[in-house]
Amino acid sequence: MAEIATFGAGCFWGVQAAFQRVPGVLDTAVGYSGGHTENPSYQDVCTGETGHAEVVEVTFDPAKVSYEQLLNVFWQIHDPTQVNRQGPDFGTQYRTAVFFHSPEQEAMAKKSRAALEASGKFRRPIATEITPAGKFYRAEEYHQKYLEKRGVASCHF
């Protein structure tokens, strides 16, 4: 039985590309979550007024890849200490976030964040929010698998 994980780690194009390469990931979709506006467009989200983050919804087979393994990928592909930005992209839509779909995911995400914080890997505190997954709004089709469509392997990680 497939499960869903939702992550915000900056611009969703590169985040999607990274998760697509993980064995056991069945599908990915980019979109918007964590906001208060119904059916936001990319232009709406870019204003910073909808409250949404750019996210990747990951459908995975837990028999082949664990949620903990997906969390490890999440921590590795972005700087979780940056508040409302990743690289050259800034705004609340680029915040670092884990949107959990179950109490088990919440517990694993919090444990994983605490372990990363305790590891001393970063000089600044981890800024990643861990919040319940709300409604996921799929982004416009031209955003789906954007880098793959253009033959590019990654963004600016």
Q: Which residues of 69-99 are buried (b: 16+ CB within 10 A; e: fewer)?
A: bbbebbbebbbbbbeebbeeeeebbbbbbbb
Strand pairing report for 53-60 and 3-9: antiparallel
DSSP, collapsed to helix, strand or coil, labels residue 17 as helix
Between CA 102 and CA 108, with CA 104 as vertex, the angle to 5 degrees is 120
Annotated active-site residue in 11, 15, 97, 130: 11
- Partners of 85 in the beta sheet? 90
Question: Is 11 considered catalytic here?
Answer: yes
Residues identified as active-site: 11
